[in-house]
Amino acid sequence: MLEQLDLTDFRNHAALRFRPEAQFIILHGANGAGKTNILEGVSLLVPGRGLRRAALGEMARKAGAGGFSVSALANGNQFGTAVSAAMPGRRQVHINSAATTINDLAEYFAILWLTPAMDRLFADGASARRRFLDRLVLALDPKHAAHSSRYENALKQRNRMLGDGQQDAAWFDAIEARLAEHGAAIAAARAKVLEQLSAAIEAMPPSPFAKPILTLAGDGLSDAATLAEAYRAGRSRDRAAGRTLTGPHRADLEVIHAGHGQPAVNCSTGEQKALLLSVILAHAGLVKQIRGAAPILLLDEVAAHLDPDRRAALFERLVDTGSQIWMTGTEEQLFVAAGSNAMRVHIADGTLS
């Protein structure tokens, strides 16, 4: 749980200090007031590019000095991440005033989010669904961040070698050994979390939110030796394609509506939202069970397209997760059913009241 959040020169917030005092933090106000910017700041307390996946330069306040900082107090620890005007492309991280790496944040926080942009998750390309899955995995397995970043670095190097026409077999062997090591760890972690999450979804009590069936499509290669051999055997084909065509970066999360058996991509927008909510609710309980602490949930405009009964049901289920939940909406009345568990904050021009 966050006890304090400070944003400096972040988006439209010149200097914001906020102390959440309830399980539900409801940020309401007009479009463009800065509600989602606060959620984005919180999302930077875990590895990755945040809930908007924005470039670092876009996060710095337009009238600021060119950098920004986000800091938070949680469980007696001080966390900070910042970008300086001198190094605008590099994000620095501190934990209790000591410099560290961004991946270390995963040891302290599990943060998940739903945003309006994710309404197209099932219609978008596989990369968006992989990122969603990897956030679920990261919340349960902090080491997933390091494996993912090392895999991406090795993948970029191999693709560059393919594009340059490199033929050095020993060089390829070395790169592919790293790819296979971290790729196998990624595949194993994904498979384990999908198994755990599927069991948690199956055990969920009846609710207005559809139950999803989750599977991972891909080449099915999950051990390092098999992956290394696949990379070696595929060099000619990959060289012709100009990229690596085997590995966990080619996997796809497939979701089916358990009620009528339709793939999520063929479901209505409301059904797709319900499927995502079911995943988030089940996963929050799983994180609490495995890590001993509930995740922080960031739900941007989540109540806008739910009818009153489904909103009430959602808030009831969210209470049971034990999570600290940050929600945004243009109208305060959308959150009436949140009751006394909520701290309601109005935002106008980056100012809280």
pLDDT confidence of 279, banded at 50, 70, 90? very high
Cα end-to-end span (Å), the chain: 21
On whether residue 306 sits in a domain, the answer given is no
- Report the amino acid identity of residue 246: T
Per-residue pLDDT tens over the stretch 268-278:
988 999 999 99
Query: Which burial class, exposed, middle or buried, applies to 67 when counting CB atoms under 10 A from its CB (0-12, 13-18, 19+)?
Result: buried
d(CA 56, CA 61): 11
d(CA 206, CA 201): 10
Average pLDDT over residues 99-108: 95
On whether residue 300 sits in a domain, the answer given is no
On whether residue 78 sits in a domain, the answer given is no
Average pLDDT over residues 338-345: 90
| Other beta carbons less than 10 A from residue 297's beta carbon | 24
Question: Average pLDDT over the chain, rounded to whole?
Answer: 94
On whether residue 7 sits in a domain, the answer given is no
* Proportion of the chain above pLDDT 90, given as a percent: 87
Question: DSSP alpha helices (H): ranges in 263-352?
Answer: 269-291, 308-321
* Proportion of the chain above pLDDT 70, given as a percent: 99
Per-residue pLDDT tens over the stretch 10-56:
999 999 999 999 999 999 999 999 999 999 999 999 999 999 999 99
Whole-number pLDDT of residue 222:
77
Average pLDDT over residues 302-311: 88
Residue 295 has pLDDT above 90, yes or no: yes
Both tokens of 109, joined, read 């926080």
Per-residue pLDDT tens over the stretch 132-177:
999 999 999 999 999 999 999 999 999 999 999 999 999 999 999 9
Query: Residue 179's domain spans which residues?
Result: 121-274
d(CA 177, CA 231): 9
Whole-number pLDDT of residue 307:
86
On whether residue 250 sits in a domain, the answer given is yes
d(CA 178, CA 172): 10
d(CA 252, CA 257): 16
On whether residue 258 sits in a domain, the answer given is yes
CATH code at position 170: 1.20.1050.90
Calculated CA dihedral for residues 119, 45, 150, 51, nearest 10 degrees: 20
On whether residue 148 sits in a domain, the answer given is yes
Average pLDDT over residues 334-342: 89
d(CA 282, CA 296): 14
Calculated CA dihedral for residues 166, 172, 176, 178, nearest 10 degrees: -110
Whole-number pLDDT of residue 304:
84
Residue 200 has pLDDT above 70, yes or no: yes
pLDDT confidence of 220, banded at 50, 70, 90? low
Average pLDDT over residues 188-204: 96
> What pairs with residue 328 in β-bridges?
27
On whether residue 236 sits in a domain, the answer given is yes
What is the 3-state composition of the chain as percent helix, strand, coil, each rounded to the nearest 5? 45, 20, 30
Q: Are 29 and 345 in contact (CB under 8 A)?
A: no
Q: Are 289 and 282 in contact (CB under 8 A)?
A: no
Q: Give the total number of structural domains in the chain.
A: 1
Q: Kindly provide the residue ranges of all beta strands, DSSP E only, lying in the chain, ordered along the sequence.
A: 4-10, 13-18, 24-28, 68-74, 77-83, 92-95, 98-100, 111-114, 212-217, 252-257, 296-299, 324-329, 342-348, 351-352
